[in-house]
Amino acid sequence: MTELPELAIDTTATFVVSTALATRDFQDVHHDRDAAVARGSKDIFLNILTTTGLVQRFVTDWAGPRALVRNVSIRLGVPCYAGDTLVFSGTAKPDGPDTVVDVVGKCSLGDHVTGTVRVSAP
Amino acid sequence: MNAAIEAEAARLKELGESKPRLARDPVNEPMINNWTEALGDRNPVYPELAPPAMVQVWTMYGLNGVRDDDDPLGAMTKVLDDAGYTSVVATNCEQTYHRYLRPGEQLAVTTRLSDVVGPKRTALGEGWFVTTLSTWYVDDEPVAEMMFRVLKFKPPEPTGSVIRPLVNQDTEFFWAGTAARELRVQRCPDCQALRHPPGPFCPRCGSGTPDYVVSCGRGEIFSYVVHHHPPVPGKRLPIVIALVELEEGVRMLGELLDVSPDDVRIGQPVTVDWSRVDSDLTLPVWRAVP
């Protein structure tokens, strides 16, 4: 079992908006605070495609460019609002020829995402 | 209602995969660069290869996109919306990548309904878990798959965060009465004695089959307390809680509205009024008779 180095992301409003648009997710709750509040949210919040991408980035930052990502399996928890900090931690263990990393991404409200990433050597 | 949901789920499952829908653009470096820049991903294999987690990005509907008619999540959403399960939250996403994609490759995606499970009680409210499976193809080659699960749920009505009464078989008639704006008082059908609060047996004759009468709702303050502390959810303190002796003879507790603590007096005439909390709960309250 290997602990991965932590990755902390300041999920500023700019971060939430630019990642939502870069993932072609134009739902208003990811870029329009008034609309998000009207729908019962505290603020705009991170979209799922970004969460998936950050989980992948957290693992490849550690595993290196030669690692091939085979599978990302996540369970979504509390929303990560603009202005929060999202901190990823994880532990890696070998599984046959692959490595499986258990990942947790926490923000101030609790677990934003938990899941596993399977990577293999090329 | 559940049968209609299950029938639609069965119909959509039977339909299988939706028609392949082409990505707007082939896999391309500018969109990869936008993605890596926004997410802060400095993996040097990009943009010569596409980040695997971008697979869904290529086939997003976009700013003005309209879901295809045969998209099973769209059809399932409609039937659940119609049944009152209007809110949605994604709960699980599992993506499997068979290989990395390169700029120039043209993707298409198909989606099929995997299953619909419910109704389930969840922390968010009652809802149905809807699971879809998507497959991305380059020509005829499947390159990635995704299992995506959402919870379609009925948002609970706002409760005003009051403390809710425990409703049991002895008190059910009373709360059904308040919902209908009737102040019901338990009566023994054998000896005619009235009693409150409700209980299973008549304290006078022991009969175990209670009945009720509807009170006129008028009475006088028999006693009261001014509650300053501890805090009560949904209330700004102090509040006056009055024990009212109804004209029928039983005494009943409730909040006395619109009378400041200094102006309450024993013997003051009051009448019942209703404080609707939500569709499940209406509380009786007292108002002073001028």
pLDDT tens figures, B48-75: 999 999 999 999 999 998 888 889 998 9
Looking at residue B189, its pLDDT comes to 92
The arithmetic mean of pLDDT across residues B219-239, rounded, is 88
**Topology of domain B2-153, per CATH?**
Thiol Ester Dehydrase; Chain A (3.10.129)
Domains (ranges, CATH) in chain A? 2-120 (3.10.129.10)
Domain chopping of chain B, boundaries: 2-153, 172-288
Nearest to B63 among A26, A53, A54 (CB): A26
Residues of A whose CB is below 8 A from B35: 22-23, 53
A33-79: per-residue pLDDT in tens? 999 887 778 899 999 999 999 999 999 999 999 999 999 999 999 99
CA pair distance A40, B215, nearest whole angstrom: 41
CA nearest A117: which of A105, B151, B91, B172? A105
The beta-carbon neighbor of B57 closest among A24, A60, A73 is A24
> What is the pTM assigned to this prediction?
0.69
Is pLDDT at B283 greater than 70 in this prediction?
A: yes
* Cα nearest neighbour of B96 on chain A: A71
Q: Write out chain A residues lying below 8 Å of B62, CB-based.
A: 24, 26
Min Cα separation B44/chain A (Å): 6
| Residue A99: predicted pLDDT | 97
By Cβ distance, the residue of B41, B43, B56 closest to A49 is: B56
Contact across the interface for B37 and A68, Cβ inside 8 Å: no
